[in-house]
Copies of this chain bind each other. A is one copy, B any other.
């Protein structure tokens, strides 16, 4: 990492945009996450970077020749920009950091430009940040896999033999990935009740969340050309929060032998801002010890976990106070993102710019750190108490779930914004 890039990460750095200097803001000058927005002025979605309570309209800055990204910022998705490559992402980051830093007058004192370049976050509609050619979901939390294995298989052999040898993953449905704020309709489907001979067609009765993060592929690989583990992080553009909504009763009936399908394909929500892998650099930390030591193709030296605090809240319809139903941290994940990508491609599978790779449900060791209601309520047996009264085994219509996540720095935090969705009643 060169000095100019390092300078964009300095904890002491401040912006002339005052709201960015609030220690509670998700979007300080150290963050600079990328997203796609529209508003009353720009009804066509286009690229922006979040800072404090504002969005920087990147196409406006490029028109003013303050940054250069080969005219990719007017596209309604970031793929074309991302495809320009890591040197370009970094060049734009460094330029933006300079323009927004305290003491830099170029943009700050150009009133006409400023008026066009800064858009209030509160006025903007956010869109999916990328077109997603492929969505893969992993299963990389040891605590989550152990909980699920204990519940549905054998508590004494909760982890299947392959789990500690490779980052288990499966192909998800890319078409149904939606951006935070999109309502989620409870799915109908086949469910098999314990005493029945045959399944019934029903609205899902065990609707659940899965607290995850996801990473966005920034540089693909050709078919037949695996990505080595040591090089894998250079293929990642950045990270988002992800809620892999799950219909547990549909899942339990359908998933053998080929895996989850309709139980996951009705919606997957991601947060709108992609926090770049560069912005996460100061929060790099050690991955858990892996025992047995993985096969060679899954080995990498150094620190490949990231210290990201995560929190999930549930707010029933008509109430004001949300209940925090989970607090955990991304650094607990057994398999790193680099290992996931190395494994995904080791047989020759190609990836493409914009591919989304979900971490798998992120669970800690205690019920209040579980990433799904399935785990925290132990398949509904121990409902959670809600702040304004009542309880929840699984989600009810009108419930709003919000995932938040942030890296805590000294005096600032690099946040992800929100990954939220509200449950609508099933189709009649």
Residues of A within 8 A of B (CB): 133-134, 139, 160-162, 165-166, 168-176, 178, 185, 187-190, 192, 198-201, 204, 223-224, 226, 247, 250, 253-263, 265-267, 292, 295-297, 343-344, 346-352, 355, 427
Q: Provide the bound-state CA to CA distance between A11 and B171, in Å.
A: 43
B262 touches A259 (CB 8 A): no
- Who on chain B is nearest to A352 by CB? B175
* Cβ of A170 to closest chain B Cβ, rounded Å: 4
A347 touches B187 (CB 8 A): yes
Top 6 nearest A-B pairs by Cβ distance?
A259-B259, A187-B347, A265-B349, A171-B171, A170-B258, A262-B347
A267 touches B348 (CB 8 A): yes
Q: Name A261's contact: one of B171, B226, B257 (CB within 8 Å).
A: B171
* Cβ of A262 to closest chain B Cβ, rounded Å: 4
Q: Name A297's contact: one of B166, B173, B201 (CB within 8 Å).
A: B201
A257 touches B254 (CB 8 A): no
* Cβ of A151 to closest chain B Cβ, rounded Å: 12
Given known A174-B134, A346-B189, A352-B175, contact A257–B259 (CB-CB < 8 A): yes
* Cβ of A27 to closest chain B Cβ, rounded Å: 29
Q: Provide the bound-state CA to CA distance between A256 and B259, in Å.
A: 8
Q: Provide the bound-state CA to CA distance between A266 and B346, in Å.
A: 9
Q: Provide the bound-state CA to CA distance between A325 and B157, in Å.
A: 41
- Who on chain B is nearest to A178 by CB? B223
A199: B residues at CB distance < 8 A: 162, 165-166, 295
B134 touches A175 (CB 8 A): yes
* Cβ of A273 to closest chain B Cβ, rounded Å: 22
A351 touches B175 (CB 8 A): yes
Q: Provide the bound-state CA to CA distance between A259 and B251, in Å.
A: 13
A348 touches B168 (CB 8 A): no
